[in-house]
Structure 1
Amino acid sequence: MKTTDIKLKTSLLGLFVATTLLSGCGNDDDDVVVAPAPPVVVMQTFTVTVTNLTANQPMSPMILAAHSAEASLWQAGEKASVAIEKMAEGGDTADIAALAVIESSVNGTGMLMPGMSETLTLTLAQADVANISLATMLVNTNDAFTGINSYHIAEMEVDRPQMMKYMAYDAGTEANSEAKGTMPGPADGGEGFHAARDDVDFVHIHPGVITMYDGLADSVLMPSHRFDNPVIAVTITRTE
């Protein structure tokens, strides 16, 4: 046999072995599990603009909160929670933000003065979009508050604002004495939250303040502090 033939056969044998080995290695690739890409999180942004419609009732820094559709912050005719009591008597919203049902929340920058507006923004994952609530105290009162109670936002369209007005509620936790030292607002500068409850102990529509000029001799309020319903105007917009 010629040397050339031996070299050719050896080369062909080497090529066959290499091809076989490469074919065997191909099975390892079949065992590799490729993890699926994580789902894209779709975000939605909502703005809530609140206008104070009263003549002389500043409102405490607001809280805007997102939560499940089944939750609500208060119910007329039912006992106020301690979280609502603290907000309605002293403007403190920390306990509302800490409620287990709250998914996300944002606070206003300061008191909302009469005739003024403030816009709050919430950005939520689409899976968490359900209902929103808002709460604020009328600070020249004993325990008046107002807000949005569980408004459904899940089906809102982009740039289609919803405009509403809301009334004032009485938390029913503190008697409406309007006496000096019992209200935290600038008309008095008195006490805010007090744990003892000395009123009807259920939430109801607020009857308004009486003032010293209406015959309530111990009241420190003036006619400008009176209010009628509604007390706030609200515009809710999905912007994204």
Structure 2
Amino acid sequence: MKKCTQLGLAITSASLLLGAGSVNAAELEITITNATKGIYFTPLIVAAHNSDLVMFRTGQTASAELEAMAEGGDISGLASVIGNAGGVVVENPATGILNPGVATTFSMDSGSFGYLSLSAMLLPTNDGFVGLDSWKIPTEPGTYKATLRGYDAGTEANDELAGSMPNPPFLTFGAGGSGVETTVTNTTVHVHPGNLGDSDPAGGISDLDNTSHRWLNPVATITVVVK
């Protein structure tokens, strides 16, 4: 019996690495739009793969590679593991940060693989990321649309303190927050509850601004044109 392994292929038939029995090669035009008011996406990683390979899965513990992406925006580990397992990887199609309200469009040859996944860290969050988990690529040409949720990697408490998150120059943090959370309450990947923030730039419970850094799901849209 085959089993699904996070960022790893089950030891079954070697033909699975080549996508035997998958859909025919498809040329995809993909558009990802940041649908938030004040949340930024770090460089995206997009992958085509077969059913035995997953980038993340809700209810499962995050891999070290997913943790690095969700806490610091580092997609190199995910790219290496997926690429080494035979998947097709597109790294950083937006050539940097994807700003709120901005879209990026790129082409991707999915090869013989039938599933599409993506992720990118949400800034500012502790370990939040936008994600698409093993979306089945349609076999019929056409335009397909979906919304994307923000997920919590379950690897870091959502304290919302500036010292616990990347601090790029385009973000303005408050200071003196006491911390929204002190411990991780769910250690598996799960749907993110969103930032809480506060309105006190020099104190309060959070160093995030609730007028710009507060968000609820969904956080993005994706349009896939199968040619």
What is the TM-score when the length of structure 2 is the normalising length? 0.75
Q: Is the 8 A contact 1:180 1:218 kept in 2?
A: no
Output the CA distance in 1 between the equivalents of 2:86 and 2:164: 30
Q: Is the 8 A contact 1:106 1:121 kept in 2?
A: no
Cα 1:184/1:102, change in 2 over 3 Å: farther
Cα offset for 1:112?
Answer: 0.7
Alignment of 1:132 with 2:116, yes or no, is yes
Number of positions where the alignment pairs a residue of Structure 1 with one of Structure 2: 185
Correspondence for 2:204 among 217, 228, 232: 217
Output the CA distance in 1 between the equivalents of 2:115 and 2:79: 15
Match in the other structure for 2:105: 119
Q: CA RMSD in A?
A: 2.1
Q: Among the aligned pairs, what percent are the same residue?
A: 36
Cα offset for 1:54?
Answer: 0.7
Q: Which is higher, the Rg of structure 1 or of structure 2?
A: 1
Structure 1 portions without partners, runs of 5+: 1-41, 189-197
Q: Is the 8 A contact 1:90 1:139 kept in 2?
A: no
What is the TM-score when the length of structure 1 is the normalising length? 0.71
Output the CA distance in 1 between the equivalents of 2:97 and 2:161: 22
Cα offset for 1:43?
Answer: 5.0
Alignment of 1:226 with 2:214, yes or no, is yes
Structure 2 portions without partners, runs of 5+: 1-23, 174-182
Aligned positions of 1:1-240 closer than 5 A = 43-99=25-81, 100-107=84-91, 108=93, 109-125=95-111, 128-153=112-137, 155-158=138-141, 160-185=142-167, 186-188=171-173, 199=184, 200-213=186-199, 217-223=204-210, 224-239=212-227
* Secondary structure in 2 matching 1:146: strand
